[in-house]
Amino acid sequence: MTNNVPITVARGDGIGPEIMDATLRILEAAGAHIEPEFIDVGEKVYLDGNTTGVSTQAWQSIKRTKVLLKAPITTPQGGGFKSVNVTMRKTLGLYANVRPCRAYHPFVFSHFPDMDVVIVRENEEGLYAGIEHKQTANSCQTLKLFTHQGCERIIRYAFEYAKKFNRRKITCMSKDNIMKMTDGMFHKIFKQVAEEYPGFHTEHLIVDIGSALLATRPERFDVVVTPNLYGDIISDVTAQITGSVGLAGSANIGRTTAMFEAIHGSAPDIAGKNIANPSGLLNGAVQLLIHIDQSDVAAKVENAWLKTIEDGMHTADIFSEQRSIRKLSTKEFADAVIERLGEKPTQFHAVSFQSGVDTTFKSIHDKVATLTTKKEIVGADIFIDALTDDVNALCSKLSELNGPLKLIAVTNRGLKVWPNHSEAAEFFLSDHWCCRFQATDDFAPTTQEKVLEQITLMYQAAFDVIKIENLYTFDGERGFSLAQGQ
Ligand code: NAD
């Protein structure tokens, strides 16, 4: 007899409790060997004064079980409340967000009957690191932080996922034509890792044309791996064009812990009406069952669910006079799936999942490299807040500082405005200036002390220094971008 596996369950807000009850009923009827531990996260916890939305008891349970099935959570607007989803992903190190999006044509209308795409989104880094500053009266910045380990981990995950689930093609999407350091690193690592997986067809697309193709020819894609923000956007678009956001489940995978959910939100507009579609959460739960090595039960649930869909038993969100037989409530839909447990779909392909404890994903961490290189400081970008239109006067004052470093270029919003900016240029000057100082024009090494001396001189000359970015070379290679026009 298989022992029951303890899993943490959050019933969530809005439609959360209804779809969770439906999902758990189906899992129980299918014979899933699970022992749910219920926790409170979300609205109730926020209203009790905990701005993270996650109680200590909830963390303890997740830490113990390492598996969480979570219904959607309402994030209250304003008031300093942190999104539970982002907090969970980051605190638990859930670096991979996996969203399978397929069409269920002809039973659920989609313009793309053959689409079957899995989006693998980096879940912790990039623009979601949440490092933001307002620096001048007119400017703010978000730090887009990529690490070598973060990129390598998600890319390896995508290849391992493709291997495990018999997918053949992996598309990397980035914007490395513009962001050569961050997205450039993502693309470069993709190419390197791809060499270790010769059996796969791989390609790289710039994310703008990539997402346009995904929205118009999704059937040409199989697995897509992409950084955080792009993944967030394209996975919603991809889920939507399958026919309904109510169908797709999502897995958030970390080194030790994993969280499974629906991709949609708490749908407060239909909460308590017993009309929500539990399929998204159920599909998340199927991924959970595979994760805890109950692949047979996962396949049993998924096949019964596919049969329910092809039998035209539909909740209101996917109901149509032409394609559906009956419009069901949330509870009736769960009953319909339960009635079909043990049956296989006849129109869709029946699914089966590999069994066995999954060590492939765990081994990813051992393969991820931490780089060490020879790092030398060659100067600094010293950012100042200055409200002026007189570039020449500003730059003369900067050049006359007579410090240990030489003024190489001044840029405003990334555009070089000194020396020799184009006479034809028509742009507005913001109060946010970047003054690039180097030891020499050709990246000769300098020292931290010289950078500090230069900054001190600037303060003494009443420049409002708002930030410093040191300029480094790594093994002799420039580690910073050149300004537009430099
Ligand atoms: P939403 O996904 O909750 O709802 C969008 C639309 O889709 C609504 O019309 C809703 O009725 C419908 N819908 C969603 N799920 C459905 C289902 N299962 N069955 C039938 N119809 C469904 O998005 P929203 O309205 O932007 O967000 C509502 C709340 O959910 C917000 O507080 C938001 O922060 C939160 N949210 C949570 C998560 C999560 O916990 N993972 C994800 C997204 C949004």
Radius of gyration of the chain (CA): 26
Write down the pLDDT at residue 360. 65
Q: Whose CA is nearest to atom 9 of ligand 1?
A: 267
The answer to whether residue 424 scores a pLDDT higher than 60 is no
Write down the pLDDT at residue 50. 86
CA pair distance 308, 346, nearest whole angstrom: 11
User: pLDDT tens, 175-219?
Assistant: 999 999 999 999 999 999 999 999 999 999 999 999 999 999 999
Q: 42 alpha carbon to ligand 1 midpoint, in Å?
A: 14
Atom of ligand 1 nearest to the CA of 278: 18
CATH code for 5-367?
3.40.718.10
Query: Mean pLDDT, the chain, as a whole number?
Result: 93
Q: Whose CA is nearest to atom 36 of ligand 1?
A: 265
Residue range 359-383: average pLDDT?
A: 88
Q: 265 alpha carbon to ligand 1 midpoint, in Å?
A: 3
Contacts of residue 41, Cβ cutoff 8 Å, sequence gap at least 6: 10, 12, 53, 54, 55, 58, 70, 73, 84
User: pLDDT tens, 249-303?
Assistant: 999 999 999 999 999 999 999 999 999 999 999 999 999 999 999 999 999 999 9
Residue 381 belongs to what H/E stretch?
A: strand 375-385
User: pLDDT tens, 323-341?
Assistant: 999 999 999 999 999 999 9
CA pair distance 197, 192, nearest whole angstrom: 10
Write down the pLDDT at residue 51. 82
pTM: 0.92
The answer to whether residue 308 scores a pLDDT higher than 70 is yes
Contacts of residue 375, Cβ cutoff 8 Å, sequence gap at least 6: 472, 473, 474, 479
- Give me the residue spans of the domains in the chain: 5-367, 375-478
Atom of ligand 1 nearest to the CA of 268: 28
User: pLDDT tens, 144-162?
Assistant: 999 999 999 999 999 999 9
Q: Whose CA is nearest to atom 7 of ligand 1?
A: 267
Give the confidence band of 2 by pLDDT, cuts at 50, 70, 90.
low
Write down the pLDDT at residue 441. 84
The answer to whether residue 82 scores a pLDDT higher than 80 is no
Write down the pLDDT at residue 245. 78
Atom of ligand 1 nearest to the CA of 42: 40
Atom of ligand 1 nearest to the CA of 250: 41
Class for the domain spanning 375-478: alpha beta
Write down the pLDDT at residue 423. 60
Report the pocket of ligand 1 as residue ranges, CB < 6 Å: 15, 72-75, 85, 245-246, 261, 264-270, 276-277, 280, 317
Peptide bond into 106 cis (omega under 30): yes
- Which two structure tokens, joined as six digits, stand for 298? 């996962």
CA pair distance 325, 8, nearest whole angstrom: 36
